[in-house]
Structure 1
Amino acid sequence: MALTELEIRSARATEKPIKLFDGDGLYLFVQPNGGRWWRFKYRFHGKERELSLGVYPEVSLKLARTRREDARRAVAQGIDPSAERKAAKEARQVTFELIAEEWLALQAKKLAPVTYDKARWMLSTFIYPRLGSRPIAEITAPELLAALRVIETRGTHETAHRTKQRVGQVFRYAIATGRAERDISVDLRGALAPIVTTHHAAITDPIAIGHLLRAIDGYSGQPVTVAALKLAPLMFVRPGELRQAEWSEINMDAAEWRIPGGRMKMREAHIVPLAKQAVEILRDLQPLTGRSRYVFPSLRSRDRPMSENAINAALRRLGYGHEEMTAHGFRAMASTCLNEQDWHPDLIELQLAHAERNKVRAAYNRSTRLADRKKMMQAWADHLDTLRAGAQVIQLRRQSG
Structure 2
Amino acid sequence: MPKQVTPLTDTRIKALKPKPARYPVSDGGGLLLEVMPSGSKIWRFRYSLHGKRQPTVTIGDYPAISLQLARDRARKYTEIVAQGVSPVADARQDRGAERISDTVSDFATIWLAAEIEGKSESYSRTTRRALDKDVLPAIGNKRLADVTPGDVLAICDKIKGRGSPKMALTTRNVIKRLYEFAIARQGATINPAQSVAARFIATQESRTRVLAPDEIGTMLRAVYASNVRRPLKLALHLLVLTMVRKSELIEARWEQFDLDAAIWRIPADAMKMRKEHWVYLSTQAVEMLRELREIGGATYVFPSSRGRIEAPIAKPTLNTAVKSLGLEMEHFVLHDFRRTASTHLHEMGLPSDAIEKALAHQIKGIKGVYNRAEYAEERKRILQHWAEFVGAQIDEGRKVVLGQFGKAA
Give the TM-score range, shorter chain.
Answer: 0.3 to 0.5
Tell me which structure has the larger Cα radius of gyration.
1
TM-score by length of 1: 0.47
